[in-house]
A and B are shown apart, each in its own frame.
Chain A
Amino acid sequence: EPEVTQTPSHQVTQMGQEVILRCVPISNHLYFYWYRQILGQKVEFLVSFYNNEISEKSEIFDDQFSVERPDGSNFTLKIRSTKLEDSAMYFCASSDLSTGEDEQFFGPGTRLTVL
């Protein structure tokens, strides 16, 4: 069964450093998403991406964040200068809205720890 994959599974970084989180969505999916979940809190939408551009973003997704689809398979989230409060689980998801079904499928997540 096709699945979304994410790397790394755990990233530890120093405050102020840049990190890039990587995702490989399901191959025939066209819509991609990033979410974050701070420990013990709810899943929060960050950004959605379609046709090589951002379609929606939340208030959390400020200038520190950017997304890119650098090739036909990867979808990345970059945090330019990490803060302690960026420590969270980051989930990538993809969906195939062209079928009329908008269920999302999630990757296993990257746990980001900012020290």
Chain B
Amino acid sequence: RKEVEQDPGPFNVPEGATVAFNCTYSNSASQSFFWYRQDCRKEPKLLMSVYSSGNEDGRFTAQLNRASQYISLLIRDSKLSDSATYLCVVKPYNFNKFYFGSGTKLNVKP
């Protein structure tokens, strides 16, 4: 079973739309959770950490459900510049390694 699973997409949405991505992880002892974005042939860039209480940064909201081992990312009012691949990343407790999902591709169209 994969450590981190994501719907690969692509999600094709119009500008201004709200879009949500989901991610599940297999290790219940996972400690830290992140969303990164990756543009084509570029390095992953941290979008936001995901906290147990949920957190928001402008148009982006992340939620964590430990009981269901599920992380989500909500993007409101999508911009063309949001087009990218969104990577779900999980770090197990007490291990200094990070597991990446395969990513969900988002295309925001005018």
Name A's B-contacting residues (CB within 8 A): 31, 33, 35, 41-45, 48, 50, 55-56, 58, 89, 91, 97, 101-109
Q: Which of A35, A58, A102 has the most CB of B within 10 A?
A: A102
Q: Which residues of B contact A (CB under 8 A)?
A: 32, 34, 38, 41-46, 49, 87, 91, 95-103
* Complex contact A33–B98 (CB within 8 A): yes
**Residues in B whose Cβ lies below 8 Å from that of A102:** 32, 91
Q: State in angstroms the CA–CA spacing of A89 and B41 once bound together.
A: 9
Look across to chain B and name the residue whose beta carbon is closest to the beta carbon of A107: B43
Q: Which of B44, B87, B96 is most buried by chain A, counting CB atoms within 10 A of its CB?
A: B96
Task: Knowing A42-B101, A55-B96 are in contact, say whether A91-B49 is a contact too (CB < 8 A).
Answer: no
Inter-subunit contact A45/B98 (CB<8 Å): yes
Shortest CB-to-CB span from A108 to chain B, Å, is 5
Q: Which residues in B have their C-beta under 8 angstroms from that of A109?
A: 42-43
Bound-state CA distance A18–B44 (Å) is 27
Cβ 8 A contact of A108, one of B43, B49, B98, B102: B43
Is the Cβ of B95 less than 8 Å from the Cβ of A56?
Answer: yes
